[in-house]
Chain A
Amino acid sequence: MTHQALSLLAELTYRCNLQCPYCYNPLDLRAYADELAEDDWLRVIDQAAALGVLQIHFSGGEPTLRADLLVALVRRARQRELYSNLITQGTFLDDALLGKLVAAGLDHVQISVQGAHAPLADAIAGTAVHERKVAALARVLQTGLAVTLNCVLHRANIDEVADIIALAEQLGIRRLELANAQLYGWAFRNRAGLLPSREQVAAAAETVASAQARLRERMEIVYVLADYYERYPKPCMHGWGQRFMTVAPDGRVLPCPAAAAIAQLSFENVRDRSLADIWEHSRSFNAYRGMSWMPEPCRSCDRRAIDFGGCRCQAFLLTGDARATDPACTLSPHHALIEHAIADPGAATGAERLVPRRA
């Protein structure tokens, strides 16, 4: 494996007007209040392009809370021939901002909804925004911009997956991402309330598969699995430090958006060092790069070049050691942690209620 940076996730801010309990942002949101300035971000884009990065994803938090900055960065990304993607929940996407983004050269936008219908979706978002989002979606589609509709699935909304697909059909969406919640940050805090049951996951997978077959020519449905219910872990980030990097709002560069939680590591900042230097030489990016760091059972496993031992952040969150085999793997000596969590989802940690994300 040779590593080559291809994709950069630019988290412009962790601020957000919604409070999704499945948010993977870190719990200590206030620690990121000292946000990078426009000059810093422009430099990051220039350095990323020089490093060979081809796609940039503007995210957060809610990136449109820094609308002027966002437009300037999309423009610079286009100048550097980077493909730009905006990941937003859409509540601020009015015609004026949309027009500026399209003029600046935005290639694609991913907009999320919290569910298929207002009462539940609004309850998950923590505020009444569903109808406004659907209206925003219709406007975005009218501009002709390439759109992915995203919905994060969990215990409270996974049963209405058919309705979410129907909503996407109604709107004329070409690409739909249905992503089982990835349990980091606030989502990990809310794991007990978010984890669906095995029956729920099986029913959703069946509904999605039949919709994929039925809509083949009209809509691509990307289904992100619930790794707690899989036999093997996800090939997280296509391997640590192989393709992806994230720049957090405060300028720290992370091999994975959830990596800041790994207390065993510290992360370099684009205010102090160049992106190329950090990518190539930092201790954090090299910590789990390649395969030589792997312990057993990964070290001698046939699948180590397929899934790279799973997710380092999940290994840390569950075992306290980021080097461990991802416990989601059925071969992991820690797999009982997963079995215990799914044995009685909703009661595993005793946390009954979902805690809304807040600063």
Chain B
Amino acid sequence: MGGEQSIPAFSRGVRLRRVDDSRTVLLVPEGIVNLNAPAAATLSLLDGARTCDDIAAALSARFSSEPAAIAADVRELIGRLAAKGWVVLRTASR
């Protein structure tokens, strides 16, 4: 789940909503999920084109933190959302 070659995208019925500078939420069927800053930064990079690795690379460039740790966090988050059905993964063809 969330392997380096997979491309995550939000499922139908799931929307990321930036409420203001300090608050981003995930709007899901009949619910609202509050996101912490790292999760919000990660999910704002989901565009159905970037792979999990692309997202991790963009984040470690932005926050200049250790790439391997970020990649693990991204995969963990995406995997959790995929298990919930809020994110779908497709395999990158490259």
- Among the listed B13, B19, B25, B83, which residue makes an inter-chain contact with A146, where contact means beta carbons less than 8 Å apart? B13
A156-186 vs B, CB cutoff 8 Å, 1 = contact: the mask equals 0000000000000000001100000000000
Residue in B15, B17, B27, B30 with the greatest tally of chain A CB atoms within 10 Å: B30
Pair B12/A217 contact, Cβ less than 8 Å: no
The answer to the question of A112 belonging to the interface, with a C-beta cut-off of 8 Å to chain B, is no
Residue of A with least CB distance to B84: A220
The answer to the question of A55 belonging to the interface, with a C-beta cut-off of 8 Å to chain B, is yes
Nearest CB on A from B19, distance (A): 7
Pair A83/B85 contact, Cβ less than 8 Å: no
Task: Give the size range of B's interface with the partner.
Answer: 10 to 19
Nearest CB on B from A23, distance (A): 19
Given contacts A108-B13, A220-B84, contact A83 B19 (CB under 8 A): no
Q: With A and B bound together, what is the CA distance between A220 and B84 in angstroms?
A: 8
The answer to the question of A6 belonging to the interface, with a C-beta cut-off of 8 Å to chain B, is yes
Residue in B13, B17, B19, B83 with the greatest tally of chain A CB atoms within 10 Å: B13
CB neighbours (8 Å) of A52 from chain B are 19
CB neighbours (8 Å) of B11 from chain A are 146
- Among the listed B12, B14, B27, B32, which residue makes an inter-chain contact with A145, where contact means beta carbons less than 8 Å apart? B12
Q: With A and B bound together, what is the CA distance between A52 and B15 in angstroms?
A: 16
CB neighbours (8 Å) of B27 from chain A are 54-55, 83, 107
Residue of B with least CB distance to A148: B29
Given contacts A107-B15, A145-B12, A146-B11, contact A55 B83 (CB under 8 A): no
List CB contacts (< 8 Å) of B1-39 with chain A. 11-15, 17, 19, 25, 27, 29-30, 32
CB neighbours (8 Å) of B83 from chain A are 216-217
CB neighbours (8 Å) of A108 from chain B are 13, 29-30
Q: With A and B bound together, what is the CA distance between A83 and B27 in angstroms?
A: 7
Q: With A and B bound together, what is the CA distance between A57 and B27 in angstroms?
A: 13
CB neighbours (8 Å) of B13 from chain A are 107-108, 145-146
Q: With A and B bound together, what is the CA distance between A146 and B85 in angstroms?
A: 11
Q: With A and B bound together, what is the CA distance between A145 and B13 in angstroms?
A: 7
Nearest CB on B from A257, distance (A): 14
Pair A83/B17 contact, Cβ less than 8 Å: yes
CB neighbours (8 Å) of B14 from chain A are 146
- Among the listed A54, A174, A216, A217, which residue makes an inter-chain contact with B25, where contact means beta carbons less than 8 Å apart? A54
Pair B19/A174 contact, Cβ less than 8 Å: no
CB neighbours (8 Å) of B29 from chain A are 85, 107-108, 110, 146, 148, 175
Pair B85/A220 contact, Cβ less than 8 Å: yes
B50-72 vs A, CB cutoff 8 Å, 1 = contact: the mask equals 00000000000000000000000
Q: With A and B bound together, what is the CA distance between A145 and B30 in angstroms?
A: 14
The answer to the question of A89 belonging to the interface, with a C-beta cut-off of 8 Å to chain B, is no
Nearest CB on A from B17, distance (A): 6
Pair B85/A7 contact, Cβ less than 8 Å: no
CB neighbours (8 Å) of A144 from chain B are 12
A40-75 vs B, CB cutoff 8 Å, 1 = contact: the mask equals 000000000000101101000000000000000000
The answer to the question of A131 belonging to the interface, with a C-beta cut-off of 8 Å to chain B, is no
Nearest CB on A from B49, distance (A): 19
A–B complex contacts, Cβ < 8 Å, 21 sampled = A7-B32, A52-B19, A54-B19, A54-B25, A54-B27, A54-B32, A55-B27, A55-B30, A57-B30, A81-B17, A83-B15, A85-B29, A85-B30, A107-B13, A108-B13, A108-B30, A145-B12, A146-B29, A148-B29, A216-B83, A220-B85
Beyond known contacts A83-B17, A146-B12, A220-B85: 16 more, CB 8 A cutoff:
A6-B32, A52-B19, A54-B19, A54-B27, A57-B30, A81-B17, A85-B29, A107-B13, A107-B27, A108-B13, A145-B12, A146-B11, A146-B13, A146-B14, A146-B29, A174-B85
